[in-house]
Structure 1
Amino acid sequence: MTATLTAHRQDGVEHPRSVERLVAGMATSDGAGVKLTRVLTQPLQRRLDPFLMLDAFGTDNPDDYIGGFPDHPHRGFETVTYMIAGRMRHRDSAGHEGLLQNGGVQWMTAGRGVIHSELPEQEEGRMEGFQLWLNLPARDKMSAPWYRDIQSAEIPEFTAPGLTVRVIAGESQGVSGAVQREATQPLYLDLHLAAGTRFAQPLPAEHNAFVYVYRGQVAVNATEVPAGRMAILRNEGDGVALQAGPDSRALLIAGRPLNEPIVQYGPFVMNTQQEIFQAVEDFRAGRFGA
């Protein structure tokens, strides 16, 4: 799904946001020893509300990913997994199953509780991608689990000279993304920029936003952001303006904050400590699932 845009339609941002700070992320492992970088960590949850976590993973060494993520629970938020390269099989206790592969997205609403696994379906080659955790408003935390596999060809794109933008969620330049959410209004763009290309995206003033560069180097309102860094944007201005140095790729993610309490215990994210106690009790009692 591709729309071709002329360069003038990329404008519309008169006062671009500046960079508040750059974040390098923290090397860690999760699941059965999968090596990754936790870019958006727990101390940043309030600042980047409604986003709870961003993990980036990328390796050619099977030992770094072969164990995958065996059965584990979630409650109270959504997971968005974007696969740049590789093959990962998803199965969950609500009866959903899908294959996540090159360029595809897996969007899962854990809601009141689900147990799922994400296991590689490859024994060699590159595994690369991202997992984003998106919070749910209090009213939706106990909703029924939901799941959607979005193949690469189903992700809307638009192009202009030197530019390809994959619109995973939200809307950009009149192109609606694969997923929309009313409460958090997430914007999730994957930007592919040739050297010297400029891209601008309007943003509501109250929305929190960040850019994560995973190839090359991008200038965000004159601040150079190298690969492997997240730029947290100040909540000032009417949007964001980026310009690529070398050929570059970056994620632009923004959303409307919920401004609700965040109480996290591992894979459970609720609004009160009592709700966390209940989540643990429900999981141990086998009440997660369909």
Structure 2
Amino acid sequence: MSHFELPKTEHLKLRLEGAVLHLSLDRPEVRNAMSFAMVEELIAVFDALEDAAESDAPVRAVVLRGAGGHFCAGGDVKDMAKVRMTSPEEPGGPDDPLVAGNRLFGTMLSVVEAAPQAVIAVVEGAAMGGGFGLACVADVTLARADAKFRLPETSLGIPPAQIAPFIVRRIGLTQARRLAVTGGRLDGDQAKAIGLVHESYASAEALETGLAQTLADLRRCAPGAVAVTKDLMISALSENLEVLLDRGARDFARAIRGPEGVEGTMAFVEKREPKWARTDA
């Protein structure tokens, strides 16, 4: 086991409470619009969390939310405008900095989705563009009923290039197409109805109660088993089924013979909580 350290961040607030990392996007003056710097910080934090699962103080869950009453208003338009002022020989070619800048958003969504920890998105206020994407890659997404989800890119003359695949994977092709061609606008209840979010709450108090219950539910699940299960489920989108089932059988055998499998089955037989579920653990 090893110790891990979270990176220093300027645009994110990080607060570690036991095994839960509370991560807040922290640019409230622009409704937490994501600058390139913020995106790089998010990638750095989730890269560090890959090691945190195996550390001597493991992080088991990440609560992702925005400061100042809004989740995230998408990408920072001013950042994009600065890069657009450059004049590459071939727009969209390998030397175009907008290509690398846009691709960075896809990398961020991929590392958040693939985190070995459970990721819970708590959505209040605006969730647009990249914020919409973050809501799609969380394992559990909770929202206020009056949250405002929007996919505005096509109304701005651009495609939601890095977000689109994750939206399709979350809510299916037909709903994703409808949102893309209409500049999709949804509140929290509508987002729940199409499967974008899992629960919608009428008040801030109810939202916090729902978050507490979700964290309590997660505490009962073994962290190693959660990490392996997430990887298998995400791999199901791209891997050959027979190859994936073979890998799943190997993962199962290692798990049931490992410390979590032994503890979990013993706890069941002895009619007690497993060690990872205890609040004093």
- State the TM-score, normalizing by the size of structure 1: 0.23
Pick the structure with more helix per residue: 2
Structure with more of its chain in strand, by fraction: 1
Based on CA coordinates, which of the two structures has the bigger radius of gyration? 2
Q: Which has the higher contact order (CA 8 A, sep 6+)?
A: 1
TM-score, normalised relative to structure 2 = 0.24
